[in-house]
Amino acid sequence: MEPITIIVGIISLILGSVISFFLIKNANISKSNIILEDAKKEAERIKKEKILQAKEKFIELKSQHERSINEKNREFNKAQTRVKDKETKLNQRLGEMNRKEKELSEEMKTISKQKEVIQKKQNDLDENKRKQIQQLEEISNFSAEKAKNELVETLKEEAKTEALAIIQDTIEEAKLTANQEAKKIVIQTIQRTATEQSIENSVSVFNIDSDDIKGRIIGREGRNIRALEAATGVDIIVDDTPEAIIISCFDSVRREIARLSLHKLVTDGRIHPARIEEVVRKTTKDINDEIIDIGKKTTIDLGIHGLHPELIRMVGRMRYRSSYGQNLLQHSRETANLCATMAAELGLDSKIAKRAGLLHDIGKVPEDNAETPHAILGMQLAEKYGEKPEVCNAIGAHHDEIEMTSLISPIIQVCDAVSGARPGARRQILDSYISRIKELEDTALSYPGVVKSYAIQAGRELRVVVESEKVSDAEANKLSFQISEKIQNDMTYPGQVKVTVIRETRAISFAK
């Protein structure tokens, strides 16, 4: 029985296992169905939400689209309205232009008719003029061309006479105004700049206490005086003049070096060639230092700043130069003050004028370039050392070597003449003075009808006597003007020359 029991037991176990399997399987299927149902419900819910969201998005996009379309429609309507307005205005303008074109066409027709009438009248006038000219030629026995030439010649003579009269009247009128103001400015400038006149010679006199010193200066066989002349470049004249030795040299600097060296040698008492060379060397250095000090003092006194050191040295060397007997530094200082005063009166830059006035004669200081005119050389030096173009032009143009390009230039020229040409400022050579006087008189005598001419007041006035039979009153005025113009253009003279033409009529009878 045990095997049966075992088999039954086994079969029972197998059946139990199968039943358990089926039961578990059914339970899993039910659970899966429940999960599936839940998933379907959730999917349905999500589907409905997405549909709602899509509908809302669609409605929103539709609303935006409708707004955009409405905005574009409004803009389109506005643009269409503007186009219609412009079209209306263009139509109006076109109509206006058509109307004006018609009016213009009518006016052109009228003008054309008037032109034809005028042309016809002009032809008639020309024909009448031709007939009148022909009649006048027949009556006067003159052709039109000949009458025209005679009329032109007559008008030329009358025009010349009237032009001379107008020029004379204009000159006189200008003198009443401009000449008075110019004289006022020049006189005020001269009165405000009063400087002493210094005349330098080409010799210096060295005074000594006794004539015994002359022998020591000459030395044995003249070796001392030869050494002194060789070292200084001057001529030392030892003659019978009591207690005096003459130092002669055209260069004032070398003459001053020789004078000071002689003074030191005589004071020291040791006079021999070696000592002479040593003293001259030291004196030359002292003079060079003094030249620089004089230049600096001059620029400080005049209130001129920023000059190049070489220009300052040249200004100092002016102290030992002279021009026609007038000290060059004194003349330059005086010209600078005159220029500053005159520029201030005329409303110009007085500092530039004063600077140009001081430097206008620096071309006389250098010892080289003797063939170059001093005005051009001075301008080149000023350009080399960085002076302004106005100053350079004023220096170069103060004797008319170059063209003046600024208002400062004529002021420098005038003040240079005022400083140098006034009586007593410079020595004039008698021959040149007599030559100028004779040239003035000969200029007047070269004109027809002039009997005599006299230069008076040191050449400042020219009196011309003419024949009354050959020169009329009108021609006397013309002759005075012509002589003054020729003197002004052909001659060089200081100041001005007054030309007086004298015409007198004499009635002579004899009682018998």
Concatenating the DSSP letter of every residue in 349-367 gives -HHHHHHHHHHTTGGGS-S
pTM of the model: 0.48
Buried b (16+ CB within 10 A) or exposed e, 368-395: eeeeeebbbbbbbbbbebebbebbbbbb
Q: What is the chain's alpha carbon radius of gyration, rounded to the nearest angstrom? A: 58
Rounded distance, CA 352 to CA 343, Å? 9
pLDDT at 433: 67
Strand, helix or coil for residue 74 = helix
Rounded distance, CA 466 to CA 502, Å? 6
Strand, helix or coil for residue 499 = strand
Cα 455 to its chain centre, rounded Å, is 41
pLDDT at 456: 81
Rounded distance, CA 15 to CA 17, Å? 5
Rounded distance, CA 355 to CA 374, Å? 17
Cα 218 to its chain centre, rounded Å, is 60
Distances (CA, A) of 362 to 168, 380, 390: 41, 10, 16
How high is the mean pLDDT in each 10-residue block of the chain (512 residues)?
68 74 69 80 85 87 89 89 90 89 88 86 85 74 70 78 76 67 65 48 70 76 81 78 76 80 82 84 87 89 88 86 76 89 88 90 75 85 89 88 87 83 52 76 88 82 87 86 86 77 79 76
Token digits for 117? 């009438």
Report the residue count for the chain. Answer: 512
Rounded distance, CA 425 to CA 420, Å? 6
Rounded distance, CA 299 to CA 292, Å? 11
Q: How many CB atoms lie within 10 A of CB 317?
A: 24
pLDDT at 234: 81
What does DSSP say about strands 244-248 and 326-327: parallel, antiparallel, or unpaired? unpaired
Please work out, in degrees rounded to the nearest 5, the angle formed at the alpha carbon of residue 342 by the alpha carbons of 336 and 347: 120
| Residues 404, 406, 412, 417, CA torsion sign | positive
Q: How many CB atoms lie within 10 A of CB 456?
A: 13
The answer to whether 470 touches 449, Cβ cutoff 8 Å, is yes
pLDDT at 201: 55
What does DSSP say about strands 326-327 and 203-207: parallel, antiparallel, or unpaired? unpaired
What does DSSP say about strands 244-248 and 235-237: parallel, antiparallel, or unpaired? antiparallel
The answer to whether 281 touches 260, Cβ cutoff 8 Å, is no
Rounded distance, CA 473 to CA 477, Å? 7
pLDDT at 10: 78
| CA contacts within 13 A on the Cβ side of 114 | 6
What dihedral angle (degrees, nearest 10) is formed by the CA atoms of 441, 444, 447, 450?
-80
Q: Which of 440, 481, 474, 446 is nearest to 458 (CA)?
A: 440
